[in-house]
Each structure stands twice: as structure tokens, then as C-alpha cells.
């Protein structure tokens, strides 16, 4: 230290200490190569007097000062470089975070604009509620329905006391205080019907579900669409069915009754044949009317009980005997010890009749339709196999659709409107009966029914 104070610093004037600021500037703002050059220049300051005098530095104080200045300059410059690098990195990180935040905000705005455009483009009413129940977004359709129902979309809309009614269009659907958020919290609401307004009412089908992210509730979405035309069409359909029931079934019942009475009288074979044709045509028309009515019933009332499979099949074969004779088709029934099933007897008879009727109508003259009753894994099973033209995979998939008829049935003008199998499927579903169509062993189609077994006690009684 005495050496530095007494000798080394004598060769340095105030200019040397002024190099601190350029070194800080170089270290904070530049890369390593310029910093190294600056450090070397700063370290050479103690040697400048000798160099200016035209001689080589030869004294120990000069070289000591050179080393000290070089170390001091390196310390200052590298410290400034480290600090500057850290600051630049922090600035870069902040700029990246800001850019990412701006990009995310822009993406959110873009997504919000897209969602808003989509919601405005649809005819459905779309409302999104926040976790506090306030409305975040609502399209024009939603605002229109809200005005019709007298719902205020500011704050958390209340449902009670509004013009929202049940199916009778008079009873309030929400008599107690309730909000959409509370409604959705009770579980997902899907496909419910409500009537809005007091005059010129509108029927809507609405669904609501909560929105979660990682278990955290974000809000609720409600979607509703106007189904007024559909509901009114159903009402028109019901009125039409009532008219069909009254205007067609009543005279047909009279016609069939009078024909049956006439057949009991002594008439010539020619008249008897005509009466049988009239009765067959009336029965066919009556069946068509029954199909139309059954196809549009809102529900099928099934009363499961202990039903004799063999007796039910035998009754159906007897009912269709005239149809089989007319088409010169033989119906052969084989019972492999099947006794009872837990089904509604009338429903089972209706299912078998539809399947057997199709088998007879689609079989060529002289063919045999085989009906087998058996058991598989303690469940009664009925198989009806014909030797007709059969069905393709696509036709079998669509066979139970309403009003569906195969190309062969249309081309050959097979009687029917395409409702029989649809009704059979509805009856089967209501009774827990499995019904399947598959290719027959030698062409044609095989219909397989798997029935619910009767209870052991019922079987013993049977």
C-alpha cells in the first residue's frame, strides 16, 4: 500500500480515474471484445508518461500501476457487463412476457369476436353467465326471448315471477325464486320445454350446464331454441290422429262386424269368397290405421306378466291363417319346450304378428315360414325364418325406421306403409325384448326375439 501511495500513483493523473465512466459504459452496453479493448487501454494509462516521452516504461511503479489499473479496469468493466447483461435479460424477459400477454389478449379478443359472430349467426339463443350469475354475453336471439319472458339481463336474472310457463301455457315453470346459475348447479339441464310470454307465446327447448376449469366454476352457459312450429305441428298431428281414430276406425269396425255376421249365414261359395276378400281388405285397412295410431303414441304402456309363448304364437298363426292361404304360404311352428315369459301378452302378440306378416308377404308362393320357440341361457327365444329375397345389411339397419320400405317391397307393391317393424321395435323395447334381424340359413331373413324369462314361481304355476 505504501508503494502504491508513494510511487505508483505518481504516474497517474486525474485522467486515469475518468476512465471509470467509459468502462462502465462499455461493460453495460457492449459485448466482450470491445470491453477487452477498453480494459487494455485503461490499463495502459499509467504507461502513457513514458510512452509520451519516447521511452519504454522501465520503472517498477509504472508496471505496478499498469497491473493495478488493468485489474481495476477489468473489475469495473466486467461488473458493469454482468449487471448490464442481467438488466438486459430482465428487460428481454419483461418484453417477452408483455408480448406474450399482448398476444394472449389479442387471441382472447379474436376468439371472443369469433364466438360472438357464431352466436349471432345462429338462430339459437346463447347466454353465458359468470360465476356470480351476471350475464357475460347474450346474442340477439337471447335478448329477444328475454324481452318476451320479461327477464332483465342486467345483474343476475331471476326466473321466478317471469312469463315462463309449463306445457299447459299457464302454470309458472319456476314458482319459487331461482336463477339460471342455481338451476345449472343442480345438474346439467338438457332438452326441457318452456312457453314464454302471455300473448303470442313461443315454445323453447333449453339446456343449461355449468362451466368448469380444473374444478373451478367459471360460469354457466344456456342455449335455447324456438320449437313453436314443432310443438304446434305435434298438436296438429294429435288432432289428426283423433280424427283418424273417429272417422276411420269406427266405420271399419262396423264393416268388419257386419262382414263377420254375413259369413255366418248360409251363402253361396262365390258370395262367401267375396265376403272373405272384403273382410281381408277391411282387416288390412284396419291394421294400417292401427299402425298409424300406434306409431305416434307418445308412450307404450306395457304390463309385464306371465305369458305362454306357445299359446301366443299359436294365436298369431291362427289370426294370419287367411293371409297365409291367400299367398299360398305354409307356416310351420315348432315348440322346443318353451313355457312362459315375463312380457305383456298383447305386446308380444303384436310383435310376432308384424314379423310373421312380413315373412308371409315376402315369401314366394309354395314356401314355408318356420317359427321356432326355444330357450337360450334360460331365456325364451322365438325365431321366424322366411325364404324370401332377404335383406341387405343397409336394409336390416334401417328396417325399424318409421315409414321405411325396402326396394323390393315398393317394386312388388307389398301391402303396408313401413310402420309395422317400427311399432314392433317400440313394443319390444317397452317389454325388455331383444329383436334382431339376420340373414336366413338358405336365403331370406331370420327374425330373432329374446324374451325376459318368467320368475321360477310363475313358471311353476304355469
Which domain CATH number covers 454? 3.30.565.10
Identify whether 104 is part of a domain. no
Identify whether 203 is part of a domain. yes
Sheet holding 434-439, edge to edge: 330-335, 368-376, 379-385, 445-450, 434-439
N-term to C-term CA, the chain: 122
- Residue 310's nearest CA partner among 352, 354, 355, 358 is 352
The domain of 341 spans 305-461
Residues 442 and 336 in one domain: yes
Residues 323 and 422 in one domain: yes
- pLDDT at position 382 is 94
Contacts of 428 (CB under 8 A, 6+ apart): 351, 434, 435, 449
Identify whether 105 is part of a domain. no
- Residue 257's nearest CA partner among 228, 231, 283 is 283
Residues 209 and 267 in one domain: no
Identify whether 118 is part of a domain. no
Identify whether 115 is part of a domain. no
Identify whether 300 is part of a domain. no
Residues 77 and 192 in one domain: no
162-176, 193-207, 448-462: range with highest mean pLDDT:
193-207
Please count the other Cβ atoms lying within 10 Å of the Cβ belonging to residue 170.
9
Encode pLDDT of 390-422 as tens digits: 888 888 888 878 777 776 666 655 665 566 788
- pLDDT at position 459 is 43
**Cα–Cα dist 55/249, whole Å:** 134
Residues 342 and 454 in one domain: yes
pTM value? 0.45
Helix axes 60-121, 20-29, angle to 10 degrees: 40
The alpha-helical segments, DSSP class H, found in 363-455 are: 393-398, 407-411, 420-431
Please count the other Cβ atoms lying within 10 Å of the Cβ belonging to residue 101.
10
Residues 147 and 261 in one domain: no
Residues 311 and 443 in one domain: yes
SS (H, E, C) 141-170: HHHHHHHHHCCCCCCCCECCCCCEECCCCC
Residues 394 and 310 in one domain: yes
Q: Are 48 and 14 in contact (CB under 8 A)?
A: no
**Cα–Cα dist 421/305, whole Å:** 23
What's the average model confidence in pLDDT over 16-36?
67
Per the structure, the count of domains in the chain is 4
Residues 337 and 372 in one domain: yes
Q: H or E element: which one contains 307? A: strand 305-308
Identify whether 103 is part of a domain. no
Q: Is residue 7 scored above 50 in pLDDT? A: no
455: three-class secondary structure by DSSP: coil
**Cα–Cα dist 291/405, whole Å:** 14
Domain boundary among the residues 226, 250, 268 is at 226
Contacts of 341 (CB under 8 A, 6+ apart): 306, 307, 309, 348, 380, 451, 452, 453, 454
Q: Is residue 345 scored above 50 in pLDDT? A: yes
Residues 221 and 240 in one domain: no
The CATH number of the domain where 140 resides is what? 3.30.450.20
Mark 307-330 as b/e (b = at least 16 C-beta within 10 Å).
bbbbebbeebbeebeebbeebebe
- Work out the percent of the chain whose per-residue pLDDT is above 90: 9
73-77, 262-266, 267-271, 311-315: range with highest mean pLDDT:
311-315
Q: Is residue 234 scored above 80 in pLDDT? A: no
- pLDDT at position 47 is 61
Residues 326 and 440 in one domain: yes
Higher pLDDT, 184 or 365: 365
Q: Is residue 193 scored above 80 in pLDDT? A: yes
Residues 204 and 186 in one domain: yes
- pLDDT at position 331 is 94
**Cα–Cα dist 67/64, whole Å:** 5
Identify whether 392 is part of a domain. yes
Amino acid at each position: 500500500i505504501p508503494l502504491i501511495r508513494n510511487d505508483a500513483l505518481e504516474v497517474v493523473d486525474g485522467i486515469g480515474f475518468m476512465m471509470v465512466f467509459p468502462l462502465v459504459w462499455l461493460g453495460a452496453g457492449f459485448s466482450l471484445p470491445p470491453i477487452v479493448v477498453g480494459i487494455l487501454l485503461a490499463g495502459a494509462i499509467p504507461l502513457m508518461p513514458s510512452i509520451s516521452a519516447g521511452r519504454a516504461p522501465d520503472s517498477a511503479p509504472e508496471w505496478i500501476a499498469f497491473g493495478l489499473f488493468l485489474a481495476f479496469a477489468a473489475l469495473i468493466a466486467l461488473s458493469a457487463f454482468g449487471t448490464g447483461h442481467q438488466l438486459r435479460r430482465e428487460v428481454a424477459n419483461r418484453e417477452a412476457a408483455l408480448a406474450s400477454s399482448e398476444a394472449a389478449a389479442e387471441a382472447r379478443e379474436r376468439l371472443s369476436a369469433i364466438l360472438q359472430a357464431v352466436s349471432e349467426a345462429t338462430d339459437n339463443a346463447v347466454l353465458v353467465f359468470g360465476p356470480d350469475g351476471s350475464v357475460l354475453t347474450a346474442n340477439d336471439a337471447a335478448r329477444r326471448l328475454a324481452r318476451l319472458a320479461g327477464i332483465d339481463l342486467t345483474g343476475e336474472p331471476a326466473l321466478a315471477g317471469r312469463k315462463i310457463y309449463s306445457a299447459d301455457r299457464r302454470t309458472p315453470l319456476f314458482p319459487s325464486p331461482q336463477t339460471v346459475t342455481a338451476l345449472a348447479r343442480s345438474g346439467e339441464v338438457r332438452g326441457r320445454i318452456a312457453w314464454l310470454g302471455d300473448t303470442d307465446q313461443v315454445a323453447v327447448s333449453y339446456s343449461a350446464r355449468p362451466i368448469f376449469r380444473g374444478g373451478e366454476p367459471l360460469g354457466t352457459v344456456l342455449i335455447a331454441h324456438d320449437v313453436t312450429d314443432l310443438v304446434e305441428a305435434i298438436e296438429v298431428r294429435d288432432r289428426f290422429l283423433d280424427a283418424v281414430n273417429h272417422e276411420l276406425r269406427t266405420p271399419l269396425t262396423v264393416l268388419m262386424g257386419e262382414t263377420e255376421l254375413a259369413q255366418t249365414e248360409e251363402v253361396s261359395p262365390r258370395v262367401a269368397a267375396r265376403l272373405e276378400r272384403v273382410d281381408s281388405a277391411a282387416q288390412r285397412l284396419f291394421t294400417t290405421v292401427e299402425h298409424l295410431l300406434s306409431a305416434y303414441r307418445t308412450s307404450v304402456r306395457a304390463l309385464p306378466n306371465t305369458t305362454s309363448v306357445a299359446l301366443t304364437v299359436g294365436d298369431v298363426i291362427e289370426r294370419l291363417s287367411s293371409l297365409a292361404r291367400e299367398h299360398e304360404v305354409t307356416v310351420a311352428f315348432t315348440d322346443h319346450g318353451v313355457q312362459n315369459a315375463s312380457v305383456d301378452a298383447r305386446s308380444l302378440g303384436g310383435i310376432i304378428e308384424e314379423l310373421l306378416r312380413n315373412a308371409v308377404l315376402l315369401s314366394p308362393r309354395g314356401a314355408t315360414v318356420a317359427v321356432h320357440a326355444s330357450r337360450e341361457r334360460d331365456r325364451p327365444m322365438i325365431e321366424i325364418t322366411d325364404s324370401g329375397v332377404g335383406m341387405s345389411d343397409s336394409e336390416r339397419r334401417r328396417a325399424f325406421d318409421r315409414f321405411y320400405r325396402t326396394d323390393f317391397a315398393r317394386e312388388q307393391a307389398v301391402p303396408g306403409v313401413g310402420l309395422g317393424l317400427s311399432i314392433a321395435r317400440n313394443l319390444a323395447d317397452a317389454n325388455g325384448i331383444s329383436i334382431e334381424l339376420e340373414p336366413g340359413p338358405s336365403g331370406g331373413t331370420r327374425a330373432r326375439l329374446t324374451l325376459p324369462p318368467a320368475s321360477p314361481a310363475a313358471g311353476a304355476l304355469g
